[in-house]
Amino acid sequence: MHYEYLIFNIIVISGPLFFGSMKKFYFLNYWRESGISIFIAAVPFLIWDSLVTGMHWDFNSNYILGYKIFGLPIEEISFFITVPFACLFTWEMVKRHSKKHEILNWDKSIIAISLIFIAGGVVFLFIGKGYTGLAFLIMGLCMLYDFKLGAQILKYRQFIFFFVLISLFTLVFNGYLTWRPVVTYGEQYQLGFRIFTIPFEDFIFGYALLILSTTIFERLVKLKVFTDNEPAEKVISN
| Domains identified in the chain, total number | 1
Digit-coded pLDDT (tens) for 38-82: 999 999 999 999 999 999 999 999 999 999 999 999 999 999 999
> Which residues constitute the domain of residue 13?
4-237
State pTM to two decimals. 0.89
Q: Over the chain (238 residues), what is each successive 10-residue block's mean pLDDT?
A: 94 95 91 96 97 96 95 97 97 86 85 96 97 98 91 91 95 96 96 96 97 95 64 42
| HEC readout, the chain | CCCHHHHHHHHHHHHHHHHHCCCCCCCHHHHHHHHHHHHHHHHHHHHHHHHHECCCEEECHHHCCCCEECCEEHHHHHHHHHHHHHHHHHHHHHHHCCCCCCECCCHHHHHHHHHHHHHHHHHHHHCCCHHHHHHHHHHHHHHHHHHHCCCCHHHECHHHHHHHHHHHHHHHHHHHHHHCCCEEECHHHCCCCEECCEEHHHHHHHHHHHHHHHHHHHHHHHHHHHHCCCCHHHHHHC
